Amino acid sequence: MNESAASFIAKSTIKSADLEHRRKINFNISRYNAAVPGGKEQFADVMLAREHAKNVKWRAIETLDQQLEEFELQITKRGATVLWAETAEQALEEIGKICDAKQCRTVVKSKSMVTEEIHLNHYLENRGIESIETDLGEYIQQLDGEPPYHIVTPAMHKSKEDVAKLFADKLGTDPNLTPEQLTLVARNKLREKYVTAEIGVTGANFIIADSGAIAFTENEGNARLSASWPKTHIVIVGIEKVIPSLADLGLFWPLLATYGTGQKVTVYNTIVSGPRQPGEVDGPDEMYVILLDNGRTNLLNANTREALYCIRCGACLNACPVYKNIGGHSYGTTYSGPIGKVITPHLRGVDEYKHLSYASSLCGNCTEVCPVRINLHELLLENRNIAVQEGDSTFAERMAWKAWKTASLNRGMMNIGSGKTKNWVVNKVFKGWTTHRSELNFSQKTFNEMWKDEHGKKA
What CA–CA distance (Å, rounded) separates 209 from 246? 8
What CA–CA distance (Å, rounded) separates 205 from 148? 17
| Residue 220 near residue 111, CB atoms below 8 Å | no
- The CA distances from residue 405 to 361, 413, 426, 445, 447, in Å, are 20, 11, 14, 19, 18
What CA–CA distance (Å, rounded) separates 455 from 299? 53
Strand ranges inside 241-316, DSSP E: 242-243, 268-272, 286-292
50-99: per-residue pLDDT in tens?
999 999 999 999 999 999 999 999 999 999 999 999 999 999 999 999 99
**Sheet of 242-243, strand order:** 242-243, 206-208, 213-218, 268-272
Which alpha helices (H) appear in 303-436, and where do they start and end? 315-319, 321-326, 337-348, 350-353, 365-369, 376-389, 395-408, 411-415, 419-424
308-318: per-residue pLDDT in tens?
999 999 999 99
pTM, to two decimals: 0.91
- Adjacent-strand bridge partners of 269: 217
Domains of the chain (ranges, CATH numbers):
1-41+302-393 (no CATH), 45-294 (3.40.50.10420), 397-458 (no CATH)
> Which of 272, 370, 423, 402 is closest to 50 using CA atoms?
370
Supply φ then ψ for residue 231, to 5 degrees: -75, -20
236-265: per-residue pLDDT in tens?
999 999 999 999 999 999 999 999 999 999
What CA–CA distance (Å, rounded) separates 204 from 287? 13
| Residue 244 near residue 59, CB atoms below 8 Å | yes
Mean pLDDT of 376-404: 87
